[in-house]
C-alpha cells in the first residue's frame, strides 16, 4: 500500500511578472513505512511538493493521494480532519503558537482531536522527555532557543503517532548533536511504528538517514535513489 | 468541546499579548459602559421622580370620574355612586388603597390677595394610603379627620397670600346651581411638595366640610386608587372597571396625564438609543482592534489551520477574544457606574436650574436610580452587537489559506 | 520643500493599513454626523423655545414694582402706567411697548364658575407684545380701552359653556383688598395651543380692568419687546434711565421673568454635552489605539531613521501630522454627512414618537425643522478633532523613550 501517491502534479506561481514552475509534472509514490528525503536548491519545489502532499496547497493539475484517499479535491474541513488524524507537520519556521507553553503546543493537536486531558498531558510529558526537553514544559516559545523550539515542533508532529510525518528543514536551527538525536527519534519511529517520513532538507547528515533520496530541480524530479539498496 | 476550550485558552492569552492596545480598548469600553449606565441612572432618577411626583399629584395610578368630568371638571359632574356605596363596594372587593375626593376649582382669598386653586375635600387617612401630595406637613398640623374644620395649604401659596397658620382665609366656588358657595377656613397646616407648582395649586379640607359647603352631601368628584408598580396598572384598571360596572370613566395615569405617560415611553426609548449610540462609537475601535489582532497573527492562524484546526475554531478564538474584552470592560464599567452612584445617594442638587427642571415637571434634587433591567439591557445589547461586530474579522481570519499565511513574511 | 516631503511621508503612512484608517475615520464620521445633527436640532429648538415663549406673552423686558415678579400681589403696581408706557414708546422709538395688569378672579357663566387669571391689556398696543390678540379664532379682540368686554381661551370657554356674545361675571379683590365685581361680554375666544393659556387666561381692556379692580391709573407691568432678543442688553439701561427714581421701579429682562426657560436650556445643554463628551472621548480612544499600533509596528523603521539622526521630536510631529490628516478627513466627512442628514430633516421635518406631547410643554411644534449653521456644523467636529490630536500625544510622546539600537533589533 502506498502512503503517498502523486500523479502528474503541476503548480505555477506568479512572482512579479514571471511565472515560476514550482511543480512540473511530478509523479511520485511513497510506500508505507518509507523514509524519504527531498533535496533541492532553494526554489526547487520541495516545499511546494510537501505542502501539496499535506493538503495545504492545491496543485494546478494532477492528483494527490494519501493512504489511498484522493485529497486534492477535498474540502477545507475534510483536509483539516485528515491532517489532524493522519499527518504530523514540522515547518521551516514559525512552528509554534507563541501564547502557548511547550507542553500546550504539543497538546494542541490532541486537544483539537478531542483527547481527554489526562491522557494528552501524559503523552505530552513523555514526548518532551523523548526529545530531551524534560523540565522545559512550561516555557513559552519566546523563552526557548531555536533548537528547543524546533524540538517542540517535532514532538508535536509525532506525539499522536501519525501515519505520515512531513518535515520541512527540521534540523535547520539545530547543532549536530541535537540533529542526530532528532534523526534517531525519526528512525526509531519509522522502524517501530512504521511511520512514513517525508523530509525536505539541505542537510547532508539528514539525507544520510534516508532510505530513499529524491532530488528536485526546477519543479522536476531529477534523481530518485533507493539508499537501502546501495 | 475541546476545541472550544483551546479556543478560549488562546483567546484569553492573546488578549494580553498587546497589553497596551487591550488596556486602551478596555478603558474605552469601561468609559462607554459607565456612561451608558450612569447617564441612564441619572435620567431614570429624574423621570422616575417626575412620574412619582406626577402620580402623587394626580393622585393615584387609576382614577374614577363621571364620564363628563374630564371635559368639564365641574361640580355638576360627580361620580355616580355615593361615598357610602363606594366604601361598601370597594371593601367587598378587598381594595384598600383608594381615596374618595371632592375636587373643584376655587378662589382662595386672604385679607390681601386672591388666587385660583383646586380645592380638595379629602379623607386624610385615605389620602395617606394613596400617598397623595399634601401629606407632607411642613408647619402646623395635617387634617385629622374627614370633618376637620381647618384647611391645609401649600407653603408657597401661604407666602403669596400673605397668610400664616391660625389666620382665616375664604374659599369661593360654585354649588351645583351655579350659586357662589363660600366658606371661611382657618389655616391649620402648611404642606410641602417637590414641585413649587403643587404647593400653589392645591388646598385641602375635610371632605364632609367641603361637601356641606358645596351642597353635595355624600357625593365626590373622583376616586383615586393606587398600587405598587406604576408600570403595571392593567390589573388595577380592570378590577376597578369591573367594580364601576361601566357607569363612570375609569382611566389609568397614562391616560389622565398624557405628558407623564409619554415621558415613560420616551425614556425607555432614550435608554435604548443611548446604549446603541455608545456601542456604535465603541464598535469602530473594537473592530479595529480585532482586525489588527488578526493581521498580526496571520502566521500562527495559518499554522493552526495547517495542523488541522478547522476554520470554525479560528473564528471561535477571535469571537472569544472580542467577548472577553467586552465582558471585562463591561464589568469594570458596571462597577464604576455603581460606585459613582454611591456618593450621590443623597441626591444630586441641581437647584441652580430648579425652575428649568420644573418646566420638565422635575424636582431640583436628582436621585440617580440604577434599574436592573437597564443594566441588563446595556450589557446584553453590547455583548450581542459586539458579537455581531466581531463576526467579520473572525470570518476573515478563518478564511486564510494556511500555506499563504505560513509563508507570509 | 522639507515640509512637503514630511507631509507626503505622513500621507503614505496613513494609508499603510487602509482598513484600519477607514475604521478610525468611520468612528469620527459617525460621531461627527451625530453631533452635527443633534446640535442643530438642539440649538434650533432652544431658539424656538425662547422665541415662542416670550412672543406669546412675556416680551423681552418688563417694568414692574420690586417684588411683583415673585409675589404677584395686587398692590405692587407701576403708577400712572399709561403715561409711562407712552413716554417709553416715544423716547425709545419702539412701538411694541404695552401696559398690563393682572388679577385672580372667579369667572362665572350661567352655569359654571372658574378661578382664572384676568389680564388688563391695552387694546391698541397689546398685539405688539403678545400673540394672544392675534390668536382670537372666534369674534374679535377688544378695541375700546374702556369697553366692558372680555376675551377668553378656548378650553375655558368650553368649561364655562359659553360662546361669544354671552356674559361673564367677574368676582375678585381689588388693589385695596376690597370686593371687586363686574359683568363683561365675551367678544372673542382665542386658541393659543398652549394648554395653560387656553384653560386659565382671560383678557379685558386695561381701562375696564382699572375700574373693576380700583387700580387708579396704575398697572402691574409694562411689557417691552426689543427689536431683537440680542438687543435687550442695549435697551435695558435706556429703559432704566427713563424711569423716575421716585417710583422705585425695576426692569426685568426675559431671563428674570422666565427663569425656567434659560435653566431648562442649561439643564438640557449640560446633560447633552455630557453625552457628547462621552462620544468625543470614545473616538479619542479609538484614535489613540490606532496611532499607538501604527507607532509600535514601525519601531524598527523608527530605529533606523533615528540612527540616521532624525530626532524623536520630529518623529513625534510626524505621528501628530498623520493623526491630523486622519482627523481632518473625519471632520470634513463627518460635517458633510451630518450636514446632509440635517438638511434632509430640515426639509422633511424631524419628529419622534411622543414628541408632540413633550414639545407642547415647551411651546414647541410637534415637528421640527433643524437648520444647519456654521456653529452647529463645526462645534461638535472641532471637539472630536481636538480630542483626536490630544489622544495621539501619548503614542507621539512614547517615541521619546525609543532607543534606536533596541528599536532596530525589534522584529519588523
User: SS in 3 state form for chain A?
Assistant: CEEEEEEEEEEEEEECCEEEEEEEEEEEEEECCCEEEEECCCCCCHHHHHHHHCCCCCCCEEEEEECCEECCCCCHHHHHHHHHHHEEEECCCCCCCCCCCHHHHHHHHHHHHCCCHHHHHHHHHHHHHHCCCCCCCCCCHHHCCHHHHHHHHHHHHHCCCCCEEEEECCCCCCCHHHHHHHHHHHHHHHHHHCCEEEEECCCHHHHHHCCEEEEEECCEEEEEEECCCC
**Chains with ≥3 CB–CB distances under 8 Å to B:** A, C
The mean pLDDT value of chain B amounts to 89
- The partner residue sitting opposite B280, judged by closest CB among C30, C71, C353, is C30
d(CA B383, CA B380): 5
C375 touches chain B (CB under 8 A): no
Q: Across B54-167, where does the E strand assignment appear?
A: 62-65, 98-109, 114-122, 137-140, 151-154
**Chains with ≥3 CB–CB distances under 8 Å to A:** B
Mean pLDDT of A132-138: 90
d(CA B300, CA A146): 17
**Chains with ≥3 CB–CB distances under 8 Å to C:** B
A95 touches chain B (CB under 8 A): yes
B156-210: pLDDT as tens digits: 999 888 899 999 999 988 888 878 889 999 999 999 988 888 898 899 999 999 9
pLDDT at res. B409? 41
pLDDT at res. B267? 86
In chain B, which residues have their Cβ closer than 8 Å to the Cβ of A104? 9
d(CA C140, CA C205): 13
Mutate to test the interface with A, among B403, B405, B408 (most CBs of A within 10 A): B403
C10-55: pLDDT as tens digits: 888 889 889 999 999 999 999 999 999 999 988 888 888 888 889 8
Contact B356 C285 (CB under 8 A): no
Mean pLDDT check: name the lowest of A93-102, A130-139, B18-27, C352-361.
C352-361
Query: Which residue carries 445617594 as its cell?
Result: B345
pLDDT at res. A109? 87
**CB burial class (10 A; 0-12, 13-18, 19+) of residue B372?**
exposed
Lookup: cell for C22: 477607514
- The partner residue sitting opposite A83, judged by closest CB among B307, B313, B407, is B307
User: B406 vs chain A: nearest CA distance in angstroms?
Assistant: 8
Cβ neighbours around B13 below 10 Å, total: 17
User: B93 vs chain C: nearest CA distance in angstroms?
Assistant: 35
Mean pLDDT of A19-28: 88
Lookup: cell for B406: 505560513
pLDDT at res. C296? 85
Q: Residue B405 — very low, low, confident or very high, per pLDDT cuts 50/70/90?
A: low
The mean pLDDT value of chain A amounts to 87
Taking alpha carbons only, the member of B121, B120, B124 closest to residue B135 is B124
pLDDT at res. B348? 83
B368 touches chain C (CB under 8 A): no
A20 touches chain B (CB under 8 A): no
- The partner residue sitting opposite A99, judged by closest CB among B2, B5, B10, is B10
d(CA B240, CA B256): 15
Task: Find how far residue A184's CA is from the centre of its chain.
Answer: 16
Share of chain A above pLDDT 70, in %: 98
A42 touches chain B (CB under 8 A): no
User: Do A and C make contact, counting contact as 3+ CB pairs within 8 angstroms?
Assistant: no
CATH architecture, domain A2-226 = 3-Layer(aba) Sandwich (3.40)
Tell me: pLDDT of A72 over 80: yes
Task: Find how far residue A141's CA is from the centre of its chain.
Answer: 20
Q: What crossing angle do the helices spanning B19-57 and B311-341 adopt, rounded to 10°?
A: 50
pLDDT at res. C412? 42
A142 touches chain B (CB under 8 A): no
- Give me the residues of chain C with pLDDT under 50, please: 1, 412
Question: Do C14 and C291 meet the contact criterion of CB atoms below 8 Å apart?
Answer: no
Residues found in chain B: 409
Mean pLDDT of B108-119: 86
Q: Which residues of C150-184 are buried (b: 16+ CB within 10 A; e: fewer)?
A: bbbbbbbbbbbebebeeebbbbbbbbebeebebeb
C181 touches chain B (CB under 8 A): no
The H or E element that residue A150 is part of is: helix A146-158
pLDDT at res. C350? 85
Share of chain B above pLDDT 70, in %: 98
pLDDT at res. B1? 62
Contact B308 A109 (CB under 8 A): yes
Tell me: pLDDT of B389 over 80: yes
The H or E element that residue A104 is part of is: helix A102-113
User: B297 vs chain A: nearest CA distance in angstroms?
Assistant: 10
pLDDT at res. C411? 52
Question: Do C302 and B59 meet the contact criterion of CB atoms below 8 Å apart?
Answer: no
d(CA C126, CA C133): 7
pLDDT at res. C4? 72
pLDDT at res. C387? 94
User: B259 vs chain C: nearest CA distance in angstroms?
Assistant: 6
Amino acid at each position: 500500500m502506498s502512503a503517498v501517491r502523486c500523479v502528474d502534479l503541476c503548480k505555477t506561481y506568479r512572482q512579479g511578472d514571471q511565472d515560476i514552475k514550482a511543480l512540473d509534472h511530478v509523479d511520485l509514490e511513497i510506500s508505507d513505512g518509507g523514509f524519504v528525503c527531498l533535496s533541492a536548491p532553494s526554489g526547487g519545489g520541495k516545499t511546494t511538493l510537501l505542502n501539496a502532499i499535506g493538503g495545504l496547497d492545491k496543485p494546478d493539475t494532477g492528483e494527490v493521494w494519501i493512504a489511498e484517499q484522493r485529497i486534492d479535491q477535498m474540502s477545507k474541513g475534510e483536509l483539516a480532519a485528515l491532517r489532524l488524524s493522519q499527518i504530523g507537520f514540522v515547518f521551516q519556521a514559525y512552528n509554534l503558537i507563541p501564547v502557548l507553553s511547550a507542553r500546550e503546543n504539543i497538546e494542541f493537536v490532541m486537544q483539537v482531536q478531542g483527547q481527554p486531558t489526562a491522557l494528552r498531558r501524559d503523552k505530552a510529558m513523555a514526548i518532551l522527555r523523548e526529545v530531551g526537553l524534560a523540565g522545559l514544559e512550561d516555557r513559552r516559545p519566546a523563552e526557548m532557543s531555536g533548537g528547543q523550539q524546533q524540538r517542540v515542533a517535532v514532538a508535536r508532529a509525532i506525539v499522536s503517532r501519525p501515519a505520515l510525518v512531513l518535515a520541512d528543514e527540521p534540523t535547520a536551527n539545530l547543532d549536530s548533536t541535537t540533529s542526530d538525536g532528532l534523526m534517531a527519534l525519526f528512525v526509531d519511529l519509522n522502524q517501530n511504528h512504521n511511520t512514513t517520513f517525508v523530509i525536505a532538507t539541505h542537510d547532508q547528515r539528514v539525507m544520510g538517514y534516508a532510505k530513499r533520496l529524491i532530488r528536485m530541480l526546477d519543479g522536476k524530479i531529477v534523481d530518485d535513489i533507493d539508499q537501502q539498496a546501495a | 468541546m475541546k476545541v472550544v476550550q483551546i479556543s478560549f485558552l488562546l483567546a484569553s492569552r492573546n488578549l494580553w499579548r498587546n497589553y497596551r492596545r487591550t488596556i486602551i480598548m478596555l478603558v474605552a469600553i469601561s468609559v462607554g459602559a459607565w456612561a451608558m449606565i450612569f447617564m441612564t441612572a441619572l435620567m431614570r432618577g429624574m423621570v422616575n421622580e417626575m412620574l412619582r411626583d406626577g402620580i402623587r399629584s394626580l393622585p393615584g395610578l387609576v382614577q374614577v370620574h363621571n364620564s363628563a368630568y374630564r371635559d368639564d371638571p365641574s361640580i355638576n359632574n360627580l361620580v355616580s355612586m355615593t361615598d357610602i356605596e363606594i366604601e361598601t363596594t370597594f371593601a367587598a372587593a378587598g381594595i384598600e388603597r383608594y381615596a374618595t375626593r371632592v375636587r373643584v376649582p376655587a378662589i382662595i382669598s386672604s385679607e390681601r390677595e386672591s388666587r385660583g386653586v383646586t380645592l380638595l375635600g379629602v379623607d386624610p387617612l385615605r389620602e395617606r394610603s394613596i400617598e397623595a401630595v399634601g401629606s407632607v406637613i411642613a408647619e402646623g398640623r395635617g387634617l385629622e379627620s374627614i370633618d376637620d374644620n381647618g384647611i391645609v395649604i401649600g407653603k408657597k401659596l401661604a407666602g403669596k397670600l400673605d397668610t400664616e397658620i391660625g389666620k382665616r382665609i375664604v374659599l369661593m366656588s360654585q354649588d351645583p346651581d351655579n350659586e357662589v358657595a363660600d366658606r371661611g377656613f382657618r389655616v391649620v397646616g402648611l404642606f410641602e411638595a417637590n414641585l413649587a407648582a403643587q404647593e400653589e395649586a392645591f388646598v385641602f379640607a375635610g371632605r364632609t366640610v367641603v361637601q356641606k359647603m358645596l351642597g353635595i352631601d355624600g357625593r365626590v368628584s373622583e376616586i383615586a386608587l393606587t398600587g405598587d408598580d406604576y408600570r403595571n396598572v392593567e390589573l388595577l384598571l380592570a378590577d376597578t372597571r369591573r367594580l364601576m360596572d361601566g357607569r363612570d370613566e375609569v382611566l389609568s395615569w397614562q391616560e389622565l396625564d398624557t405628558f407623564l405617560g409619554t415621558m415613560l415611553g420616551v425614556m425607555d426609548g432614550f435608554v435604548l438609543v443611548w446604549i446603541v449610540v455608545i456601542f456604535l462609537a465603541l464598535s469602530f475601535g473594537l473592530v479595529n482592534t480585532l482586525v489588527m489582532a488578526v493581521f498580526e497573527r496571520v502566521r500562527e492562524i495559518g499554522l493552526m489551520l495547517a495542523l488541522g484546526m478547522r476554520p470554525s475554531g479560528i473564528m471561535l478564538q477571535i469571537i472569544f477574544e472580542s467577548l472577553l474584552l467586552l465582558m471585562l470592560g463591561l464589568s469594570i464599567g458596571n462597577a464604576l457606574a455603581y460606585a459613582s452612584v454611591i456618593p450621590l445617594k443623597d441626591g444630586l442638587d441641581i437647584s441652580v436650574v430648579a425652575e428649568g427642571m420644573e418646566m420638565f415637571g422635575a424636582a431640583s434634587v436628582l436621585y440617580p436610580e440604577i434599574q436592573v433591567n437597564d443594566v441588563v439591557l446595556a450589557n446584553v445589547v453590547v455583548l450581542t452587537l459586539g458579537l455581531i461586530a466581531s463576526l467579520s474579522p473572525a470570518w476573515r481570519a478563518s478564511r486564510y489559506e494556511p500555506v499563504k499565511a505560513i509563508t507570509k513574511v | 520643500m522639507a515640509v512637503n516631503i514630511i507631509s507626503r511621508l505622513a500621507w503614505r503612512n496613513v494609508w499603510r493599513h487602509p482598513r484600519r484608517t477607514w475604521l478610525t475615520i468611520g468612528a469620527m464620521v459617525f460621531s461627527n454626523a451625530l453631533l452635527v445633527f443633534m446640535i442643530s436640532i438642539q440649538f434650533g429648538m432652544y431658539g424656538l423655545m425662547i422665541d415662542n415663549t416670550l412672543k406669546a406673552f412675556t416680551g423681552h423686558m418688563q417694568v414692574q414694582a420690586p417684588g411683583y415678579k415673585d409675589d404677584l400681589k395686587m398692590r405692587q403696581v407701576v403708577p400712572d402706567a399709561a403715561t409711562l408706557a407712552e413716554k417709553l414708546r416715544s423716547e425709545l422709538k419702539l412701538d411694541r411697548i404695552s401696559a398690563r395688569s393682572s388679577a385672580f378672579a372667579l369667572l362665572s357663566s350661567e352655569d359654571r364658575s372658574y378661578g382664572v387669571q384676568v389680564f388688563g391689556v391695552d387694546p391698541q398696543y397689546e398685539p405688539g407684545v403678545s400673540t394672544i390678540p392675534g390668536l382670537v379664532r372666534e369674534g374679535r379682540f377688544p378695541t375700546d380701552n374702556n369697553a366692558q368686554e372680555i376675551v377668553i381661551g378656548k378650553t375655558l370657554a368650553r368649561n364655562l359653556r359659553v360662546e361669544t356674545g354671552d356674559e361673564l361675571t367677574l368676582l375678585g379683590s381689588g388693589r385695596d383688598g376690597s370686593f371687586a365685581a363686574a359683568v363683561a361680554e365675551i367678544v372673542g375666544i382665542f386658541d393659543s395651543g398652549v394648554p395653560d393659556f387656553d384653560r386659565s387666561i382671560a383678557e379685558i381692556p386695561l381701562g375696564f380692568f382699572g375700574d373693576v379692580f380700583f387700580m387708579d391709573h396704575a398697572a402691574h407691568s409694562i411689557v417691552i419687546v426689543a427689536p431683537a432678543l440680542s438687543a435687550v442688553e442695549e435697551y435695558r439701561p435706556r429703559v432704566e434711565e427713563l424711569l423716575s427714581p421716585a417710583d422705585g421701579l425695576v426692569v426685568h429682562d426675559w431671563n428674570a421673568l422666565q427663569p425656567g426657560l434659560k435653566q431648562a436650556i442649561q439643564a438640557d445643554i449640560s446633560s447633552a454635552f455630557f453625552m457628547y463628551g462621552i462620544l468625543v472621548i470614545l473616538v479619542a480612544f479609538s484614535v489613540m489605539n490606532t496611532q499607538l499600533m501604527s507607532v509600535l509596528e514601525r519601531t524598527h523603521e523608527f530605529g533606523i531613521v533615528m540612527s540616521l539622526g532624525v530626532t524623536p521630536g520630529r518623529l513625534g510631529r510626524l505621528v501628530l501630522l498623520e493623526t491630523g490628516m486622519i482627523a481632518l478627513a473625519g471632520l470634513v466627512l463627518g460635517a458633510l454627512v451630518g450636514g446632509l442628514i440635517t438638511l434632509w430633516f430640515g426639509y422633511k421635518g424631524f419628529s419622534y414618537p411622543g414628541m408632540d406631547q413633550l414639545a407642547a410643554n415647551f411651546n414647541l411644534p410637534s415637528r421640527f425643522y433643524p437648520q444647519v449653521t456654521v456653529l452647529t456644523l463645526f462645534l461638535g467636529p472641532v471637539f472630536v478633532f481636538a480630542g483626536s490630536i490630544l489622544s495621539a500625544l501619548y503614542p507621539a510622546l512614547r517615541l521619546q523613550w525609543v532607543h534606536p539600537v533596541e528599536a532596530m533589533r525589534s522584529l519588523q
